[in-house]
């Protein structure tokens, strides 16, 4: 009787070779050379294009994979979650992207060898996923200042590189102002001028910004962080606090909790899901029907 027949998990590895500017591929090659493979080998697959990870995850699930180890960043994890939402396949993570915000929320080890050991044999828990207008997100979605930065940068990133994000922030500081929003949280309606409205399943986005420090992705609720009618100087001051989560509790910042959020505006505001533009208002945020099984520290 083989080890797999005796109940050892069937493990596959999904590597995004371009994640982290090629860091993911280098990390995996080092781990592969230094780590004894599980029974049956690693069964490694490599993504080759945007959204390819979704197809590879579906194929791994069809082959009977029990655990899929993702070597990449937030984008690779999000694409994987699209395929594995509500399935029995557990996802392990070796953090190897640029932002790694999902890994921060879930306390995935920074050390690749520790992360791989955890992914192979750690505890499995189920976590919430979110949707905005049908688009899946794992971390934070929203609209306002951050979504306009994402929209500004989206078509410029390939030619200008990551520095475009810094330019995008300054461009939106100069050009974007709080807009009138009507938003409904589990049936309770609000109307006010807002700089940003962030719907947090996780705590982080943007490479370490702790926008929703109280978010718990296992509690069945979103944390909704609303930045009100803030001026430019106050916005700059709050930007210096958001990486530590200390913006919460400051004047002009309000945090709500809700399962369903509906937002509209007379302005044609952009919407983002995990930093990717996904259209314009109106927006409806809701918990996804399925959850994601994730290997996490005890």
Question: CA torsion, points 28, 33, 38, 44, in degrees to nearest 10?
Answer: 40
Residue 2, both tokens:
């083989």
Per-residue pLDDT at 58: 98
pTM for this predicted structure: 0.93
Give Cα 162 distance to the centre of its chain.
18
Distance separating alpha carbons of residues 34 and 56, to the nearest angstrom = 25
The 10 Å Cβ neighbour count of residue 229 is 14
Strand partners, 188: 185
Q: How far apart are CA 45 and CA 73, in angstroms?
A: 16
List the helix and strand counts (H, then E) for the chain. Answer: 9, 18
Distances 252 to 31, 92, 131, 132, 263 between C-alpha atoms, Å: 47, 38, 26, 25, 19
Q: Which residues fall within 8 angstroms of residue 138, CB to CB, at 6 or more apart? A: 74, 77, 78, 81, 102, 129, 130, 201, 202, 274, 292
| Token pair of 247 as six digits | 């913006």
The domains found in the chain, sorted by start residue, are 11-121 (3.40.50.10330), 135-287 (2.60.200.40)
Query: In sequence order, what are the residues at sequence separation of 6 or more whose Cβ sits closer than 8 angstroms to the Cβ of residue 60?
Result: 12, 14, 43, 45, 68, 89
pLDDT of residue 150: 87
Which tokens in the block code for residue 201?
């399943």
pLDDT value of position 159: 47
DSSP state of 220: S
Each residue's pLDDT, cut to its tens digit, for the chain (298 residues) gives 344 444 567 999 999 999 998 999 999 999 999 999 998 889 999 999 999 999 999 999 999 999 999 999 999 999 999 999 999 999 999 999 988 999 999 999 999 999 999 999 999 999 999 999 999 999 999 999 999 988 888 766 554 455 666 777 888 888 899 999 999 999 999 999 999 999 999 999 988 999 999 999 999 999 999 999 999 999 999 999 999 999 999 999 999 999 999 999 999 999 999 999 999 999 999 999 999 999 999 8
Please give the pLDDT value at position 2. 46
Per-residue confidence (pLDDT) for residue 3, from 0 to 100: 44
Predicted confidence at residue 165, as pLDDT, reads 67
Q: Residue 160 and residue 80: Cα distance in Å, rounded?
A: 27
């Amino acid at each position: 009787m083989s080890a797999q027949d005796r109940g050892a998990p069937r493990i596959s590895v999904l590597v995004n070779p371009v994640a982290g500017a090629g860091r993911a591929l280098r990390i995996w090659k080092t781990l592969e050379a230094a780590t004894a493979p599980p029974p049956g080998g690693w069964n490694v697959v490599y993504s080759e294009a945007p959204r390819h990870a979704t197809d590879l995850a579906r194929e791994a699930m069809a082959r009977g994979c029990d655990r899929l180890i993702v070597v990449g960043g937030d984008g690779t994890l999000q694409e994987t979650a699209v395929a594995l939402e509500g399935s029995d396949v557990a996802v392990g993570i070796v953090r190897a992207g640029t932002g790694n915000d999902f890994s921060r929320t879930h306390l995935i080890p920074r050390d690749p060898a520790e992360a791989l050991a955890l992914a192979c044999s750690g505890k499995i828990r189920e976590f919430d996923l979110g949707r905005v207008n049908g688009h899946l997100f794992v971390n934070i979605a929203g609209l306002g200042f951050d979504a306009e930065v994402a929209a500004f940068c989206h078509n410029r990133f390939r030619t200008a590189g990551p520095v475009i994000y810094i330019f995008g922030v300054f461009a939106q500081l100069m050009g974007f102002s709080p807009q009138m929003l009507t938003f409904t949280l589990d049936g309770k309606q609000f109307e006010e001028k807002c700089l940003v409205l962030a719907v947090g399943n996780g705590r982080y986005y943007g490479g370490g910004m702790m926008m929703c420090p109280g978010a718990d992705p296992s509690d069945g609720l979103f944390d909704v962080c609303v930045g009100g009618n803030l001026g430019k100087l106050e916005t700059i001051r709050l930007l210096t606090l958001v990486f530590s989560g200390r913006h919460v509790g400051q004047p002009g910042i309000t945090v709500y909790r809700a399962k369903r959020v509906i937002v509209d505006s007379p302005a044609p505001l952009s919407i983002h899901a995990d930093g990717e533009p996904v259209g314009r208002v109106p927006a409806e945020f809701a918990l996804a029907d399925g959850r994601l099984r994730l290997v996490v520290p005890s």
